[in-house]
Structure 1
Amino acid sequence: MNPIVLHIDGTEEKGSDVVFCAKEGMTDITVMADTIPSESTKHVTGFLEQYKETFSSPLVVVRDMSQILERCVTEVFPDIPQQIYHFHFVKNLGTEVLRDIYFNLRRKVINTRMVP
């Protein structure tokens, strides 16, 4: 398999294992998925090592802003660039950078009784 743009992400419901997926970035086809007990360094590194053994190294890894994912990708694919999902970047931009603006606007709207 030729190197790909690799998207990695995990999803879970409270109290459940994490469904961790590796997708080919251009087609959005899931090339590998597994359930892992948690999105910990140990389990994510194991998943990525299995991916590397099966498919080789990707061209780039696209991931969320998790520091754990950053460390795991760096450990398993030390020379491969990493990018952040735009969705996660914009979401965090809104909650972190624009937090004061948001809360001030929200307070003004509530004070005008436009929102109960």
Structure 2
Amino acid sequence: MSLPEAVGNRIRELRKAKGWTQEQLAEAAGLHYSYIGGVERGDRNISLETLEKIMNGFQVPAEEIFKFEEDSSYKRALNEHMTLVSGQHAEQIESLTRINKEILISIENAKKRSDER
């Protein structure tokens, strides 16, 4: 797989993780939706300036664009979670962390009760 294809696939993954259409990403990045389609297919050899626009549209750091490893379902789910919370304010992330901890404690307690039966 070529670098433009790998970057395009990753951009598609990030877009889908956010639940965005190509049109929504294009609007956030200040680009045309047909251009986003070409980028995602690896048909476009995009400039660093265009890549920066896409990263700013997603509100993700550069390293998010270059995570190419073959993901297991665990890593894929974790990356999706990271993508969803990236760009949020620290207070929102702290709230989400507290909520997630409470959910995990509830799941663990339910499992213990089930195991005791």
Greater relative contact order structure (CA < 8 Å, 6+ sep)? 2
Q: Name whichever structure is richer in strand by fraction.
A: 1
Q: Name whichever structure is richer in helix by fraction.
A: 2
Per the normalisation by structure 2, the TM-score is 0.32
Per the normalisation by structure 1, the TM-score is 0.32
